[in-house]
Amino acid sequence: MKFKFLHNIENKIYFIPSIYAISATIVSIIVIFIEYQYTNILLNILPSYFFTSYDLSKTILSTIAGSLFAMITVSFSTIMVVLTMYSSQFSPRTMQDFLKNKVTLKVLGIFIAGFIYSILTLLFIDDSMQGSGESIIFSAMIGVIVAIVCLGYFVYFIHHAANSVQVNLLIESLKEEVIEIVDKIEARNNSNDQIRNEAPDNLNKMLERDSCEIHPKQSGYIQVIYDIELTKLADEYDIIVRAEKMIGDYVTENTVVFKIWQLNKDADQFNEEKLAEIKNKILGNLVINNERSKKNDIEFGLLKLTEVALRAISPGINDPNTAIFCINQLGWVLSRIAVANLENTYYYNDKDELCFILEDISFWDLLYKTFYQLSHYGNQDVSVAGSIIDALVIIAEGSPKDIKEQVWHFSHYILGGFDKNVLEQEDKKFLNHKIYRLAKETGHKEHREKYFQVENFKIN
């Protein structure tokens, strides 16, 4: 349950700004306390330019507060402009990549923190010093330092916002996001020999027993399945837990998300109270929300890249070069997935007993879900068809033989859905060159002629 709570909190936009705001409040209280209690000691320790008079302190802090409030306003306006552009030009699914970006949230947090510090210290300046002319207030100097830091972050934020609306940089960012998930899953699978791709010999016999179905308490998208925790839980209760849905799937209260089996057939069946306890603990390791998360969902990352490419080839935007670049990046990501150790399905305990089963999406399904919309909406665009074949070549390069076979057969689907009536002779030559490269890479050179017959044209 604690993992679920932390995940939900960390995913909130207000989480990082709230941390900065709370920190600024604490710092303000500490500075005010020190200023009231230890001013004489500070006068002997710090240089004189750290201290200002009452009137100057009021002026400095009020000016800083007003300036930071203006920065916050400009930053919010910039964020809204960028989000509008993301929604209209790229994809609504990419909006969270900017809005939940750590740079964006940190900048807002620092501005809010600076504003809170200025307002609180301004409020608690010792009024007895008014008109005295003595320079014994040092909170204003800290406010000046905070203002300089905020100014630096403001410049950095403008640079960040300008980079964020460059489509090539966005595509690179989306690609790296998926690669990061792949690397994380592969590193975990490689370092844990209790996660394997081999099922026990008696698996079918074990799953023939009566099972108990578990339904979620809310509808939404599965964001996280805490597989290691579920393995420990299954080991504790001597059961097998199988996930019936994957990360990214949409579920309702009527959906079966888990099934459980008792391992010891001679043991008494769980009573209702015990069964309810197990169900609650299992559901405590499942995070469901009203939107998909980019943290663990490989398919969602590929979907966002696909949507950027689809938006680029739409009649309203008509930017085929962006679509080609995006499709090439999709090919690169899928080529990384093709050789990664991701399909470990079976989780064992220390006694080498099966505890948890988590089916993963197959590579063929990833191929299909990545390209089927592009194939449909770009079925009359030679550049789109050519770039998809290029992407398939990228995937096939360095991939195992079974992946090469899948890629070759998937190319039949892509080219089979293309409208060949729009092709001129040079278009056919263009595609034939690419098909030849794919056939050569997948070991099917002898089968390449089945696609486009071009008069007086032959590939050696």
At 10-34, the pLDDT tens digits run: 667 778 888 999 999 999 998 888 8
Q: Please, what's the largest Cα pairwise distance for the chain?
A: 99
**What does DSSP assign to residue 38?**
S
Q: What is the pLDDT of residue 454?
A: 46
Give CA–CA dist 316/321, Å, rounded: 15
Mean pLDDT value across residues 140-169: 90
Mean pLDDT value across residues 94-120: 88
Question: For the chain, give me the number of helices (H) and strands (E)?
Answer: 17, 9
Amino acid sitting at position 199: A
Residue 456 has pLDDT above 50, yes or no: no
Residue 100 has pLDDT above 90, yes or no: no
Mean pLDDT value across residues 380-406: 91
Ranking 296-300, 345-349, 444-448 by mean pLDDT, the lowest is 444-448
Query: In this predicted model, what pLDDT tens digit does every residue of 300-309 receive, in sequence order?
Result: 999 999 999 9
Residue 54: which of 44, 42, 45, 62 has the closest Cα? 62
Q: pLDDT tier at 126 (50, 70, 90 boundaries)?
A: low
**What does DSSP assign to residue 351?**
T
Q: pLDDT tier at 122 (50, 70, 90 boundaries)?
A: confident
Q: pLDDT tier at 460 (50, 70, 90 boundaries)?
A: very low
Give CA–CA dist 292/302, Å, rounded: 12
Give CA–CA dist 253/238, Å, rounded: 26
Is residue 181 within 8 Å of residue 295, measured between CB atoms?
Answer: yes
Residue 37 has pLDDT above 80, yes or no: no
Residue 22: which of 164, 120, 167 has the closest Cα? 120
Residue whose pair of structure tokens reads 């700004």 in the numeric block: 17
Ranking 24-28, 139-143, 233-237 by mean pLDDT, the lowest is 139-143
Q: What is the pLDDT of residue 392?
A: 94
**What does DSSP assign to residue 335?**
H
**CB-side neighbour CA atoms (13 Å) of 284:** 12
Give CA–CA dist 154/109, Å, rounded: 12
Q: pLDDT tier at 252 (50, 70, 90 boundaries)?
A: very high
**What does DSSP assign to residue 52?**
B
Query: In this predicted model, what pLDDT tens digit does every residue of 104-114 receive, in sequence order?
Result: 889 989 999 99
Give CA–CA dist 65/144, Å, rounded: 11
Residue 277 has pLDDT above 60, yes or no: yes
Q: pLDDT tier at 452 (50, 70, 90 boundaries)?
A: low
Percent of the chain's residues with pLDDT above 90? 30
Q: What is the pLDDT of residue 123?
A: 83
Residue 387 has pLDDT above 90, yes or no: yes
Q: What is the pLDDT of residue 306?
A: 93
Mean pLDDT value across residues 217-244: 90
Query: In this predicted model, what pLDDT tens digit does every residue of 55-79 receive, in sequence order?
Result: 788 888 889 899 989 988 998 898 8
Residue 209 has pLDDT above 90, yes or no: no
Residue 79: which of 14, 169, 157 has the closest Cα? 157
Give CA–CA dist 221/85, Å, rounded: 26
**Token pair for residue 349?**
């305990």
Q: What is the pLDDT of residue 407?
A: 92
Burial of 230 (0-12, 13-18, 19+ CB in 10 A): buried
